[in-house]
Structure 1
C-alpha cells in the first residue's frame, strides 16, 4: 500500500472520509453505548448476576440480529453509487427496498430469536442466569425489529453523505435510554420497579422513538425531498429487495461469523464460572466500543469507495480504501494505549468485585492488543462492501472465526487449562487472520479492476 501522505488528493480524501466518518462513529458509539449503559447500570444496581444475565442475553440477541445489521449496511454504498450516477429514481427505490428488506429481516430473525428464548437452557448457564435471561432477551429481540427499521432509514442519509442525521438521533436516544434505565430499573417517578427487565424495556422504547425521529426528519428536511418524491412510489422495488438480500445476506454473514464467535466465547465463559463471565462481559464491552467506532470508518470508507465505483474511477476507489485503512490503523493504535493505561479505571465503572476485577485486568490487556487487527478487518469489510465484493469475504470471515478463533480458544482455554485467557488468545488469532486476508482481498480486487476497460485510471474529485 504505497500512499503519498503529503499529496493534495490524499489530504482531500482524508478530509472527506473524516467528515463522513465522524458522525457515523459518534452514531455507532451511541448505539453500542446503549448496551454499555445497560450493563453498567445493571451491574451497579443488581450485581454480577444481573450483569451476567444482561451480557449473555444481549450477546445472543445481537448475534442473531447481526445478519440483518450487516445485511442492511450494503444499501448506503448502493445509494452513494446511484447518487454519483445522478440516478434519483434509483435512490428512491433503494430506500424503499431497504425498508422492505428490514421488515423481512426483522420477521425472520425475530422468529429465530424467540426459538432461542424458548430453548434458552441449551446455553448451559447457571440456574439463576437460566431463570432470569429469557424474559430480558425476549424484550431485546422485539426491540431488534425497530433497530432494523432505523438502520434501513439511515442508509438514505448516510448514502447521501449526510451522516450527522443518524448521529444526532442516536445521541438523543442514548440520553433517553439512560434516563429510562434509571426510572424503570428502580421504579422512580411512580413507575413500577422492573429491575433487570426495566433495562430491556427502556431499550425497546428508545429504539421505537429513534425510528419515528429518523423518518420524521427524512420526510420533512428539504435535502431529501427530491429523493422521496411520491411520483416515484409506483416504481417497483421487488428486484432491488432481491438484490439487497443477494449481497446483503453474505455481508450480514460476515458480521454474524465474527459476532457469533464472540458470543460463543461468552457462552464458554459461562461454562468456566460467573466471575469469568462477568469479567469477559466487561472487557468485551470496552472492546466493542472501539470496534463500533472503527466500524464507522468502515462504513464511511465503503460509501467513498461506492462513489468511486459509481464514477468508474479506479484511482478514487484505491485512494478511498487506502485512506480508510490508514485512519483506522492510527485510531486503533491510540485506543490500544488508552486501554492499557486506563484498564482499572474502565473496569471500575462496571463492578468492584475483586475476583472479577482480577480476571478482567488480564482480559483487558489482550483486548488492547487485538485493537489493530479488529479495526483493520472491519474497515476492510467496509471497503469490500463498497465494491460489492461480498461472497469471498464471507468465506474468509467464516474461516478466521470458526476454523481458527473458536477451536484454538477452546483448545487453549479448556484442554490446556488456560481458562479465560486461552479463549481470548484464540479470538485474537482469528481477528489477525481476518485482517490479513480481507486486506489482501481488497488490493487483489483493485488489481483486477485495473485490467477492466470499465474503469478509468484518472483521478476525479467527488
Structure 2
C-alpha cells in the first residue's frame, strides 16, 4: 500500500526519470557488455582457463579505466545545470574541457594498465592464466583512449537530455564486438585465427567505432549546433578543466574503490583455484550488468538533481532523488528475483561442458541476487550527491565500506573461516550494504539541513569553485 501511494505521488517524476534513464542505462551497459560479450565467446569457444584469463584482464583493465568512467559523468551534471540557466557558452566550455580531461586521463590510466599487465605475477595466478591475461590486457590498454573519448562526448548528449544518441551508438558497437569476437577467435573467411587475442581486438575495434561515431554525430547534428559555435572556440577551458578534475576525480575514485573491490575479489578467488575463478567471473559478469544498469539511473539522478539546483528548486531535488531510488529498487528487485530463481539457466549461457564450474557458479549467482538491492541503492545515492556537487565525503564512505570492510572480510571468510568463494561474496555484500546505508543517509541529511535554497546554492557554489 505504501509503495503504491509513493508511485502515484511521484508518477510525473518517475516518468521523467525513466525517460532520461532508459537510454543512459543502455549506453552504460555498453561499457560493461563489451567484457560480457568477450567472456561469453571465450567461455563457449575456448574453455575455462582462457575464460578466467579474459575475465581477470577485463576486470583489472576496467578497474583503471573506471576512474575515468566514474569521473567524467560530472560533466553531464554541470552541463545540465548550465542548460537550466540558458548558459550556452558554459555548455561549450564544459564539452571541450571534458574532451581534454578524457585525453589526459586516458594517457595516465592506459599507461598504468600497461605497467599492470607486465606485473601479473603479483596477483598469484597460475602461469597459464597470467600469460594469457597479460597479452589480453595490453590490447585493452590501447582501447582506453577511445573509451574515455566516447564517455566524455556522451556527457554533452546526456546533459542536454539527448541520451538516445549514445544508446544507438552503443547498441551498434555491441553488434560489431560480437561479430568480430566470433570471426577473430575462430578465423572466419579472410580473418586469421587469433584465439583469445581476437576477443581483445574486437573490443578495441568496437571502442574506436564508438568514439568516432559520437564525435561525428555531435559535430554534424543540428540540435548541437548552437553549443558548438566557432565564436566559442576562443573561450578558455582551463578553469573548467580544473573544475571537472576537482569534482570528477573524487567521483572517479569512488567508482574505483567499488570496482577495485570486485576486481581484487577476482584475485582472491583466483587463489582458490581456476575452477572457482571461472565460476566467480560468470557470476560477477551478471552482477556487473545489473550494476551498470543501476548506474544509468544514478546518472539520471545526478542530471535531474543538478538541473533542480540550477532552477533553484529544493523540492525538485528531493523529488528527483526519491524517483531515482524508487526506480532503482524496483529494477534491482526484479534482478534479484531472476538471479535467485534462474541461476542454473543463467550459468549455461556462459559454459556447459564443465559441471564443477557450473555448480560453483550457480551458487555464486544466488549470492549476487542477495546484494542487488544494496548495490542499486548505494549507486543512486552517489548520483544524487554528485548532482549536489558533494563528492569528497562519499569518496571516504566508499573507501571505508569496500576497503576497510568488504575486502578484509572477504579474505577472512574465504580462508581462515574456510567458506571458500561464498565467503568472498558475503564480504562483498557486507560492504555494499554499509555503503548503501551511509550514502543514502548523507543525501537526505544534506537536503534536510537546508533551511532555504540560498543556502543550498551557496554550498554547491563553494563545492564547484
TM-score (norm 2): 0.96
Partner Cα separation in structure 2 for residue 132 and residue 295 of structure 1? 31
**Which residue matches 1:437?**
438
For residues 59-94 of structure 1, the C-alpha deviation after alignment (integer angstroms, 9 at most, x for no partner) is 110101111110111100000000001000000000
Report the CA distance between 1:172 and its aligned residue. 0.2
**Which residue matches 1:276?**
276
Counting only pairs closer than 5 Å after superposition, residues 56-75 of structure 1 correspond to structure 2 as: 56-75=56-75
Q: Report if aligned partners of 2:374, 2:432 keep a CA contact under 8 Å in 1.
A: yes
3-state SS of 1:226 partner: helix
**Which residue matches 1:460?**
none
Q: Report if aligned partners of 1:3, 1:322 keep a CA contact under 8 Å in 2.
A: no
For residues 143-167 of structure 1, the C-alpha deviation after alignment (integer angstroms, 9 at most, x for no partner) is 0111100000000000001000000
**Which residue matches 2:264?**
264
**Which residue matches 2:461?**
none
Partner Cα separation in structure 2 for residue 138 and residue 289 of structure 1? 24
**Which residue matches 2:179?**
179
**CA distance change for structure 1 residues 2 and 334 in 2, over 3 Å: closer, same or farther?**
closer
Report the CA distance between 1:340 and its aligned residue. 1.3
Partner Cα separation in structure 2 for residue 70 and residue 77 of structure 1? 13
Count matched residues.
455
**Which residue matches 1:239?**
239
Provide structure 2 residue ranges, at least 5 long, that are not aligned to the other structure: 458-465
Report the CA distance between 1:455 and its aligned residue. 5.3
Q: Which moved more, 1:148-157 or 1:30-39?
A: 30-39
Q: Verify: 1:34 aligned to 2:34, yes or no.
A: yes
Report the CA distance between 1:454 and its aligned residue. 4.6
Report the CA distance between 1:131 and its aligned residue. 1.5
Partner Cα separation in structure 1 for residue 260 and residue 455 of structure 2? 38
Q: Report if aligned partners of 1:31, 1:174 keep a CA contact under 8 Å in 2.
A: no
**Which residue matches 1:87?**
87
Report the CA distance between 1:4 and its aligned residue. 5.7
Partner Cα separation in structure 2 for residue 86 and residue 450 of structure 1? 27
Partner Cα separation in structure 1 for residue 200 and residue 54 of structure 2? 9
For residues 18-67 of structure 1, the C-alpha deviation after alignment (integer angstroms, 9 at most, x for no partner) is 00001111112233222111001001111001100100001110101111
**Which residue matches 1:20?**
20
**Which residue matches 1:459?**
none
Counting only pairs closer than 5 Å after superposition, residues 294-309 of structure 1 correspond to structure 2 as: 294-309=294-309
3-state SS of 2:390 partner: coil
Q: CA RMSD in A?
A: 1.4
Q: Verify: 1:389 aligned to 2:407, yes or no.
A: no
Partner Cα separation in structure 1 for residue 323 and residue 7 of structure 2? 12
Report the CA distance between 1:260 and its aligned residue. 0.2
Counting only pairs closer than 5 Å after superposition, residues 116-195 of structure 1 correspond to structure 2 as: 116-195=116-195
Q: Verify: 1:410 aligned to 2:411, yes or no.
A: yes
**Which residue matches 2:101?**
101
**Which residue matches 2:314?**
314
**Which residue matches 1:371?**
372
Partner Cα separation in structure 2 for residue 248 and residue 189 of structure 1? 45
Report the CA distance between 1:118 and its aligned residue. 1.6
**CA distance change for structure 1 residues 163 and 107 in 2, over 3 Å: closer, same or farther?**
same
Report the CA distance between 1:6 and its aligned residue. 5.9
Partner Cα separation in structure 2 for residue 455 and residue 255 of structure 1? 25
Q: Verify: 1:48 aligned to 2:42, yes or no.
A: no
**CA distance change for structure 1 residues 3 and 443 in 2, over 3 Å: closer, same or farther?**
farther
Provide structure 1 residue ranges, at least 5 long, that are not aligned to the other structure: 457-462
Q: Report if aligned partners of 2:313, 2:453 keep a CA contact under 8 Å in 1.
A: no
Q: Report if aligned partners of 2:407, 2:428 keep a CA contact under 8 Å in 1.
A: yes
Report the CA distance between 1:416 and its aligned residue. 0.5
**Which residue matches 2:454?**
453
**CA distance change for structure 1 residues 205 and 26 in 2, over 3 Å: closer, same or farther?**
same
**Which residue matches 2:289?**
289
Counting only pairs closer than 5 Å after superposition, residues 198-213 of structure 1 correspond to structure 2 as: 198-213=198-213
For residues 244-295 of structure 1, the C-alpha deviation after alignment (integer angstroms, 9 at most, x for no partner) is 1111110000000000000000001110000110000000001111111111
Q: Report if aligned partners of 2:111, 2:141 keep a CA contact under 8 Å in 1.
A: no
Q: Report if aligned partners of 1:97, 1:237 keep a CA contact under 8 Å in 2.
A: yes
